[in-house]
Amino acid sequence: MHLSRKKLFVPAVVAITIALGGGLAGCSTGSTSGSSSTASAGASSDTATIPSSFPKSDVPIVDGKILVAKGDASTGWSVTVIPTSKTGFADAKAALEKAGFKAEPNAKATDTSTTIFDGPKYTVILSTPGQAVTYAVSPV
């Protein structure tokens, strides 16, 4: 049943997102020389690259500096962006809704919030602890 699967999926993705966020804090003082085609949380001065398997045509990402971009089609993706706009979370929410995603009815969007969006192909957990916006994307 789709609803049961989602109930199991959401806590797992939230835990992964929290773990990635903690890993990002630990990497903020590291430095990386050279560039790599693989996204790395340790690339503090460089912008990470969104994996080629990320569903860019289905899941819009706000404009800004990509800090972390990991994942694949079988496990899902996590992308953290420092938006160019001060209204990054609201912009991300609006872009997802424009792309056909529906926010779960009990979800609240505030400046420091987490909102779950359901789409025909993907579920997106959008969160922001402040300025950064993190997308946890999983195939339905």
Give the pLDDT score at 40. 37
Surface-to-core class of residue 5, CB atoms within 10 Å of its CB (0-12 exposed, 13-18 middle, 19+ buried): exposed
Tens digits of per-residue pLDDT, 42-81? Answer: 444 578 999 999 999 999 999 999 999 999 999 999 999 9
Beginning with the edge strand found earlier in the chain, give each strand of the sheet holding 122-127 in spatial order. 64-72, 76-83, 133-139, 122-127, 114-118, 102-103
Q: What is the mean pLDDT of residues 2-10?
A: 46
Nearest alpha carbon to residue 119 among 55, 75, 27 = 55
pTM for this entry = 0.68
Classify 135 as helix, strand or coil.
Answer: strand
Domain ranges of the chain: 2-29+40-49+61-139
Residue 118: pLDDT above 60? yes
